[in-house]
Amino acid sequence: MSNNWEMVIGLEVHAQLKTSSKLFSSSPNQFGSEPNENVNFIDSGMPGMLPVLNFACIEKAIKTGFALNFTINKYSVFERKNYFYPDLPQGYQISQFEFPILTEGFINIDNGQDQKKIRIERAHLEQDAGKSIHDIDPKYSFIDLNRVGTPLLEIVSYPDLTSADEVVNYMSSLRQILMYIDVCDGNMQEGSLRADVNLSIRKPGGDLGTRCEIKNLNSFKFIRQAIEFEFQRQIGVLESGGQIEQNTMLFDTNTGETRAMRSKEFSHDYRYFPDPDLLPVNITQEQIDNIQPTLGELPNQKLDRYISELKIEKDISKIIISEKENTEVFEQMVNDTEVPPKLIASWLVGDIFAFVKENNLDVSSLMKKTKVIVELLKLVSDDVISNKVGKEILPKVLKGEGSPSEIVKKMGLEQVSDSSELEKIINESLQDEEDNIAKFQGGSDRVLGYFVGKCLKATKGKGNPKLINKLLLEKLQK
Amino acid sequence: MKQSISQIKNSLKKKSISVEELHDEFFKKAKLNSNNAYNLITDKAQNKSLIDESQKRYDNSNSLPLDGIPLGIKDLFCTKGVRTTASSKILSNFIPNYESFVTQQLLNDGSIFIGKNNCDEFAMGSSNETSHFGPVINPWKNKNEPNNNLVPGGSSGGSAAAVAEGSCVASMGTDTGGSIRQPASLCGIVGLKPTFGSCSRWGIVAFASSLDQAGPLTNCVEDAAHILNSINKYDFNDSTSSNHKRDDYVKDLNKKFEKKIKIGIPSDYLKDVSQDILNQIENAKKVLSQHDIEFIDVEFTTTEYALSTYYILAPAEASSNLARYDGIRYGVREKGENLDDIYLNSRTKGFGDEVTRRILIGAYVLSAGYYDAYYRQAQKVRRLIKNDFERILKDVDFILTPTTPNEAFKIGDKLDPISMYKNDIYTVPTSLAGLPGVSIPSGLSSNGLPLGIQFIGNYFQEKKLLQLAALAEKELAFNE
Amino acid sequence: MSDIDIKRISYLAKLKLPQEKEEFYANSLKEIINWVDNLKQIDTNEVKPLHNVTNTTESIRNDEIKKYNLVEEVLSNAPERAQNFFKVPKVVD
């Protein structure tokens, strides 16, 4: 296919932390505000301004440490990363270098039938930079510093990833976990989660090649495209006898191509040194212990529990755990009732989600409706109404047109489960059906379905199908 | 004889002078700016309401601790609505929208700011010759060469000259490697650098963050105590600010020490000093020995490394602290064809030679391949220097040293950087250790120029330190 | 001692030294680096670097938003602005 070349990929994921204020200043940590509205003098790098650490960022980092199996370092140091860019007012970014807060973690990703362990080298806290707007004017750029100082957690994997699929898998698992533990809102369109891809290629068993870094990818689609393009590009270079230059690349979302950033006169030298305006971070065991219980169940833990304890099928379980709000709705319903979780799960991922989608709602809006849904499901599982009828009145229930019992009563939709009544209907349906009766007795099961359908029609759909089926069978077998 | 803050306050209380008259007296002198001690002198109109409010308080007998006292403020403190330049071209048009923590305390205590004192550019220098606004002239003259203009010291040269010339009662300066103490010594006044972490750095144009400290330059030790009372406060917004219990530094200033005091004199500091300097130390020993004070010879093992350590660490931090000055969001922006040009032109044209030099040194010692040998090594030696002081301060309560190795020299005399850096030889070690140091004028050189002696105290022991300085000041009777 | 790569250092510091001053600064730097080289004599193998003189800090913030909307003050010293943006010549990557 690609002449046996292998990809070797490491991912640096930048996750914006879900805090109210910024990492070192008390400006709002908010997306979408008016230009420079969330900026104070510290953010704009005015003379004499000093940073003060927001402890919530440390807490989020510790939570992440638990969720991603990291070692949580009780001692970590903020260092200055020095470079010049108009969206970096101080002329340096406060980051962590020699002593990051988290080291040596991992997550397991699904790899078809198996799981693959992706090791994570480190994660550290750092400031985000502002934004430059280049495309309003041909001659000028416009600088908005709102994003300056927003807290980021940079998560750096080992180069354990070997395909675009694995990369997307890994990143979406990270995203899911971070959203679960309320560390990041996962909104990639708003830039809450971005990735830099480090890609090199080699022949199987060969030495590691020179890698190129593709910066600032903020959608899974772009990550895939960028990786595919860069893979082919590097193959092209090496197969035509050239050498890969270590470059920082940008991905052009319009053309689907990567290109090297303008080469600088001299290579970057960030001259990291500990920020003298800050003291080292010292976390106590007590602080760490206090955070652990706030973690909640992680996605893979929920998956295991749904499958083994609640007996939900794997595929359905996966759909539920794909977003935390799904699990919140699901679990609230499960806790509320004796209705079998399996029933709740299949209705949720089927008709209920379909309703949500059609009506452009958020899943979270279902939280207020779990009681009525459970009421409806109980009517179904108690055989008061049929499955089919239940699904028909679901939209009415969700739209708030009354309680399920009221609606059933009003519309006269109770199942007919009176055996004698049904017997009458069955007898009627069997009239003049000597041919079909003969077919059934000759071994055709389909005929049964025909008769059940005929009976249901006669009951205007209200007949209890299971009971009809049973009674019919008894009759026909005579 | 210059009046102290206490004396002036008494006059104001007794109505022998009004707040406005007091202001006008100093304002008139400041306006002359004969020694170029000011980058900016505040219009009387701007201070009028403060003057009136101050007078009201005196009329109602509820005056504030520094009410109506005219102060100079080094042009490194961001003063709200008042131009703050750091004596640099790049900030020559900068008007902050915020007040530094320290100057806010002074305003809260009722003082009136006469103007912004000239200083070395971005506080880098020991002679106030690097200022974009021109050198400051020491009010003192060499009696044998009375026509020569001499340096006042630096970087708080303007502050020292202003106090010495009598155009303000006291001035607020900053000290990174000696920038308060050294000019105080060369101008014959008192200069105090408090313990690192005592006074907030919030709103002070940063030079070297792990060394910068605000402190007063005054006519007498008691005045320094008054000002310290005002500014020595914990500030949450400065992560290096220390939250320890503060004292009343004026109270009991002249009280006798309760037990015998031991003062160490480092023999290694006195190698190769001039006779004039030696005399200062000898004289101080003589007058203080009468007061149940024992002098002990002590010896540092790290003195010869202090200047090197400082001239690696301070430029390194400065190179990073000054990266924000780029003409993009504030300050003077030079023309350029593209963004990179604007950066390069604004910075290159906006900084003077010494600042440029130190930024380059800083970038060098932090750069890949050199970081370990220089920056990291300097941080390690800094720990050794700190340990050295702590070792010595186990056996003595204070350390006595000369403040400067020489008297005020002629403007333009020391063009070579290293010879300029050596001016800081006695003050830099204290800064590296973070200890408090105070310089008081101790006598005149053979050329009739003031010389100072420095007392170094233990961490946060400013109260005792000032007591000792007050005693020495009384005994040495410099101003008489 | 090795020559100072003054072009590279000034590049890192975002300074464009005039041709005639490059040598001046390079020499100055060489002299000063030479002078501070005496630190190399000291054995500091067992010594931890000193980051801060202050021992502990109480400056740990709660996650609260303080006064914002300082747009005018933040932009008041801007050499060039366009509405509420800082304006600069086009940035080219």
pLDDT in tens, C5-39: 999 999 999 999 999 999 999 999 999 999 999 99
pLDDT at A423: 83
Cβ neighbours around C13 below 10 Å, total: 27
**Number of H helices and number of E strands within chain A?**
16, 17
Contact C91, A134 (CB under 8 A): yes
Interface of A with C in 271-300 (CB under 8 A): 271, 274, 276, 278-280
Residue B270 is given by DSSP the state G
pLDDT at A2: 57
Give yes or no for A99 touching B (CB within 8 A): no
**Mutating which of C36, C59, C88 best tests the B interface, going by the most B Cβ atoms within 10 A?**
C36
Structure tokens at A217: 């990818």
Instruction: Give the whole-angstrom CA distance, residue A478 versus residue B12.
Output: 123
**Number of H helices and number of E strands within chain B?**
15, 11
Instruction: Give the whole-angstrom CA distance, residue B461 versus residue B261.
Output: 14
Beta bridge partners of C87: A142
Give the pLDDT band (50/70/90) at residue C2: low
Instruction: Please give the mean pLDDT across all residues of chain B.
Output: 96
Cα–Cα nearest to B95, from A89, C66, C72: C72
**Number of H helices and number of E strands within chain C?**
3, 3
pLDDT tens digits, A261-301? 877 777 789 999 999 999 999 999 999 999 999 998 999 99
Nearest Cα of chain A lies from the Cα of C71 at a distance, in angstroms, of 6
Average of pLDDT values for C34-45? 95
pLDDT at B357: 97
pLDDT at A111: 85
Q: Is A95 helix (H, G, I), strand (E, B) or coil?
A: strand
Q: Is B44 helix (H, G, I), strand (E, B) or coil?
A: helix
Cα–Cα nearest to A147, from A46, A17, A22: A22
Q: Do A40 and C70 touch (CB under 8 A)?
A: yes
In which domain, by residue range, is C33 found?
6-40
Cβ neighbours around C11 below 10 Å, total: 17
Structural domain count, chain C: 1
Could you tell me the CA-to-CA distances from B169 to A45, B8, B160, B190, B223 in Å, in that order? 33, 9, 11, 12, 9
Residue C16 placed within a domain:
yes
Instruction: Give the whole-angstrom CA distance, residue B330 versus residue A421.
Output: 89
Measure CB to CB from residue B381 to each of C17, C44, C54 and give the nearest one. Answer: C44
Give the pLDDT band (50/70/90) at residue A100: very high
List of chain C residues whose C-beta atoms are within 8 Å of the C-beta of residue B329: 74, 77-78, 86
Q: Is it the case that residue A424 has pLDDT exceeding 90?
A: no
Measure CB to CB from residue A278 to each of B239, B343, B368 and give the nearest one. Answer: B239
Cα–Cα nearest to A174, from A20, A7, A314, A299: A299
Whether the full predicted model's pTM is greater than 0.90, yes or no, is: yes
Interface of B with C in 324-353 (CB under 8 A): 326-333, 336-339, 341-345, 347-348, 351
The helix (run of H) or strand (run of E) holding residue C5 is none
Cα angle A107, A113, A115; round to 5:
15
Cα–Cα nearest to A245, from A213, A290, A279: A213
Average of pLDDT values for C79-86? 94
Give yes or no for A87 touching B (CB within 8 A): no
C-alpha dihedral (A71, A73, A77, A78), degrees to nearest 10: 50
Residue B204 is given by DSSP the state B
N- to C-terminal Cα distance for chain A? 65
Inter-axis angle of helices C19-36 and B353-366, nearest 10: 60
Residues 6+ apart with CB under 8 A from B43: none
**In this predicted model, which residue has the larger pLDDT, B226 or A387?**
B226
Give yes or no for C71 touching B (CB within 8 A): no
Give the pairing type, strands A248-252 and A257-260: antiparallel
Instruction: Give the whole-angstrom CA distance, residue A428 versus residue B371.
Output: 97
A–C CB contacts, 8 A cutoff, strictly below? 121
Average of pLDDT values for B294-316? 96
Beta bridge partners of A140: C89
Residue B29 annotated in active site: no
C-alpha dihedral (A163, A167, A168, A174), degrees to nearest 10: 160
Structure tokens at B53: 């409010």
Q: Do A279 and C56 touch (CB under 8 A)?
A: yes
pLDDT tens digits, B367-405? 999 999 999 999 999 999 999 999 999 999 999 999 999
Cα–Cα nearest to B162, from B217, B85, B107: B217
Catalytic choice (B179, B200, B319, B431): B179
Give the pLDDT band (50/70/90) at residue B478: confident
Q: Do C86 and B332 touch (CB under 8 A)?
A: no
Dihedral sign for Cα B203, B204, B210, B215, please: negative
Cα–Cα nearest to A34, from A111, A152, A144, A154: A144
pLDDT tens digits, B130-159? 999 999 999 999 999 999 999 999 999 999
Residues 6+ apart with CB under 8 A from A88: A129, A130, A148
Give yes or no for C89 touching B (CB within 8 A): yes
Structure tokens at C92: 């080219």
C-alpha dihedral (A442, A446, A447, A448), degrees to nearest 10: 110
Interface of A with C in 353-412 (CB under 8 A): none
Domains of chain A from N-terminus onward:
11-198+266-288 (no CATH), 297-411 (no CATH), 419-477 (1.10.10.410)
Instruction: Give the whole-angstrom CA distance, residue B80 versus residue B361.
Output: 32
Residue C66 placed within a domain:
no
What are the strands, taking DSSP E only, across C9-89?
60-61, 81-82, 85-89
Residue C30 placed within a domain:
yes
Using left for φ > 0, alpha for ψ between -120 and 50, and beta otherwise, residue A91 falls in left
Give yes or no for A21 touching C (CB within 8 A): yes
pLDDT tens digits, A364-384? 899 999 999 999 999 888 888
Cβ neighbours around B115 below 10 Å, total: 29
Instruction: Give the whole-angstrom CA distance, residue B74 versus residue B40.
Output: 10
Q: Do C57 and B239 touch (CB under 8 A)?
A: yes
Measure CB to CB from residue B367 to each of A51, A52, A269 and give the nearest one. Answer: A269
Contact A100, A124 (CB under 8 A): yes
Residue C49 placed within a domain:
no
Structure tokens at A453: 């359908």
Give the number of C-alpha atoms closer than 13 A to the C-alpha of residue A290, restricted to the C-beta side. 8
List of chain C residues whose C-beta atoms are within 8 Å of the C-beta of residue B236: 58-59
Residue C17 placed within a domain:
yes
pLDDT tens digits, A144-195? 999 999 999 999 999 999 999 999 999 999 999 999 999 999 999 999 999 9
Q: Which residue in chain A is spatially nearest to B100 when comparing CA positions?
A: A48
Residue C32 placed within a domain:
yes
What are the strands, taking DSSP E only, across A288-382?
none
pLDDT at A418: 78
Instruction: Give the whole-angstrom CA distance, residue B215 versus residue B76.
Output: 12
Q: Which residues of B214-224 are buried (b: 16+ CB within 10 A; e: fewer)?
A: bbbbbbbbbbb
Nearest Cα of chain B lies from the Cα of C42 at a distance, in angstroms, of 8
Q: Is it the case that residue B32 has pLDDT exceeding 70?
A: yes
Measure CB to CB from residue B323 to each of A82, A269, A278 and give the nearest one. Answer: A82
Q: Do B239 and A44 touch (CB under 8 A)?
A: no
Q: Is it the case that residue A334 has pLDDT exceeding 90?
A: yes
Nearest Cα of chain A lies from the Cα of C59 at a distance, in angstroms, of 6
Helix H segments across A240-298?
Answer: 285-291
Instruction: Give the whole-angstrom CA distance, residue A156 versus residue A198.
Output: 10
Q: Given strand B398-402, what is the order of strands in its sheet?
A: B38-41, B112-117, B70-74, B170-175, B213-218, B190-193, B437-444, B450-456, B398-402, B261-266, B293-298
Q: Which chains touch C (3 or more CB pairs under 8 A)?
A: A, B
Give yes or no for B205 touching C (CB within 8 A): no
**CA max distance for chain A:** 99
Give yes or no for C93 touching A (CB within 8 A): yes
Q: Is A34 helix (H, G, I), strand (E, B) or coil?
A: coil
Q: Is it the case that residue B70 has pLDDT exceeding 60?
A: yes
Give yes or no for C51 touching B (CB within 8 A): yes
Q: Is it the case that residue B196 has pLDDT exceeding 80?
A: yes
Give yes or no for C13 touching A (CB within 8 A): no
Q: Do B239 and A52 touch (CB under 8 A)?
A: yes
pLDDT tens digits, A15-70? 999 999 999 999 999 999 999 999 999 999 999 999 999 999 999 999 999 999 99
Residue B446 annotated in active site: no
Residue B255 annotated in active site: no
Dihedral sign for Cα B128, B129, B132, B137, please: positive
Catalytic choice (B74, B89, B193, B414): B74
Q: Is it the case that residue A1 has pLDDT exceeding 70?
A: no
Instruction: Give the whole-angstrom CA distance, residue C41 versus residue C46.
Output: 14
Q: Is it the case that residue B480 has pLDDT exceeding 70?
A: no
Residues 6+ apart with CB under 8 A from C27: none
Give the pLDDT band (50/70/90) at residue A338: confident
List of chain B residues whose C-beta atoms are within 8 Å of the C-beta of residue A39: none
pLDDT at A477: 75
Q: Is it the case that residue C93 has pLDDT exceeding 70?
A: no
Q: Which residue in chain C is spatially nearest to B362 when comparing CA positions?
A: C13
Percentage helix, strand, coil for chain A under 3-state DSSP, each rounded to 5: 40, 20, 40
pLDDT at A377: 92
- Exposure of A240 by Cβ count < 10 A (0-12 exposed, 13-18 middle, 19+ buried)? exposed
pLDDT tens digits, A341-363? 999 999 999 999 999 999 999 99
Q: Do B238 and A271 touch (CB under 8 A)?
A: no
